[in-house]
Amino acid sequence: MAQVFSRAADTYLRLLLIVVALGLVGGALVGGGLVRSDYLTRQHLAPEQPVPFSHRHHSGQLGIDCRYCHDQVEHAASAGFPPTHTCMSCHSQLWTHAEALAPVRESLASGTPIRWNRVHDLPDFVYFDHSIHVQRGVACETCHGPVNDMARVYQAKTLNMGWCLDCHRYPWEHLRPKEHVFDFRWRPPADQGEIGRRLVAEQGIEPRDLDSCYVCHR
């Protein structure tokens, strides 16, 4: 019987299978790395804003409370953006004619809100409620990072599902007394685990329930 394949065909087939296997493994590694990369998660991204508002100056140096501008954060799902009259409550007296504040003055005169560029933008299929987190003792900086030291706000965390689930599964590691939720100077004490577990018990938080899909996907 005539030989259909050459003697080298078996070697070529083995090499092809090895190349395919390496390609699949490499593709999985590259894909996994890409999904977790800053390019897709937007971590560390600080978009340009219509007004060069510095949280470092207002929150860090002047000590203005987060709730002065984000006045819905304790009562609504959205923290809210400050209306123009909130800005002008100070800047009608200070730096009134500064060039950087021209968009604010134009907004006040026209009644057209300033269109800020969103920094933390969750997918539409994710439900997040600021008020429930704040009321339970989750601090602003837990999700937003050291905003009080940001000249321009950037996304400090990945905001991916694994990062959220880590907090939901082990909430005692992240909770703090409610009076310190907006305090950027607060640091976890040595007995944070004990304090956190006490807060979890007092508020009736059930980590098993927080691990359910419907909590965030409704």
Beta-carbon contacts of 143 under 8 Å, excluding residues fewer than 6 positions away, are 120, 133, 157, 159
Beta-carbon contacts of 88 under 8 Å, excluding residues fewer than 6 positions away, are 104, 105, 108
Instruction: Check residue 3 and give its pLDDT.
Output: 60
Task: Return per-residue pLDDT of the chain as tens, 218 residues.
Answer: 556 666 677 777 778 888 888 788 877 766 666 556 666 788 999 999 999 999 999 999 999 999 999 999 999 999 988 999 999 999 999 999 999 999 999 999 999 999 999 999 999 999 999 999 999 999 999 999 999 999 999 999 999 999 999 999 999 999 999 999 999 999 999 999 999 999 999 999 999 999 899 999 98
- For residue 4, being part of any structural domain is answered with no
Q: Which domain holds residue 65?
A: 55-81+119-215
Instruction: Check residue 60 and give its pLDDT.
Output: 96
**pTM of structure:** 0.80
Question: In angstroms, rounded to a whole number, what is the distance separating the alpha carbons of residues 150 and 60?
Answer: 9
Instruction: Check residue 21 and give its pLDDT.
Output: 83
- For residue 16, being part of any structural domain is answered with yes
Instruction: Check residue 36 and give its pLDDT.
Output: 61
- For residue 50, being part of any structural domain is answered with no
Point out the domain boundary residue: 91, 115, 139.
115
Structurally, the chain folds into a number of domains equal to 3
Distances 20 to 7, 34, 155 between C-alpha atoms, Å: 21, 21, 38
- For residue 3, being part of any structural domain is answered with no
Q: Are residues 108 and 171 in the same domain?
A: no
Question: What are the φ and ψ backbone dihedral angles of 147, each rounded to 5 degrees?
Answer: -60, -30
Q: Are residues 107 and 75 in the same domain?
A: no
Q: Are residues 194 and 144 in the same domain?
A: yes
* CA-based torsion, 100, 102, 107, 109: positive or negative: positive
Quote the tokens at residue 144. Answer: 């937003």
Instruction: Check residue 39 and give its pLDDT.
Output: 61
Q: Are residues 124 and 168 in the same domain?
A: yes
Beta-carbon contacts of 44 under 8 Å, excluding residues fewer than 6 positions away, are 38, 154, 155, 156
